[in-house]
Amino acid sequence: MLGVVFGLKHLAVDFSWGAIGALVAGAGFGWLFVRRQQRLASPFVDIGLLRSSLVAGSLLINLASFFMAFGTLLFLAQYLQIILGLGPFEAGLWTLFSAGFVGGSFLSRGWRTGCSQQAFWESDW
């Protein structure tokens, strides 16, 4: 993963063979990791879970929600600073409500009741 990120960041600035090499090496190691996880009896990451439409769909929705929330907060901070002329501290205070995204995740049923992760997933709600 580090090679892919390094390669993409350096390719965005200028074309270099080192960046392409890092990109290819990172993608190759990622491919090797996935292949190894598929063959293990007890994998670290069960790639087979992505075959389930429920799991894949929920991960895609989670990813899209993250990018929308982060993008909204990024543009809000830029709007407050550039258009309204607020300083970084003032803009940060105005966007303090975003802590609700993190705090809201602690209000789930499992966290409130204190049940274990296994009992949380096996409950019939």
Residue 25's contacts (CB-CB under 8 Å, 6 or more residues apart) are 3
The CA–CA distances, whole Å, from 91 to 29, 63, 69, 74 equal 41, 26, 17, 11
| Res 122: pLDDT | 56
Annotated domain spans of the chain: 1-49, 52-106
| Residue pLDDT, tens place only, 84-114 | 999 999 999 988 877 776 666 666 655 555 5
Q: Is the pLDDT of residue 117 over 60?
A: no
Amino acid of residue 13: V
The secondary structure element, H or E, covering residue 5 is helix 2-13
Choose among 26, 24, 21, 20: nearest CA to 3. Answer: 26
**CA separation for the pair 46, 43 (Å, rounded):** 6
Model-level pTM? 0.55
Q: Is the pLDDT of residue 9 over 80?
A: yes
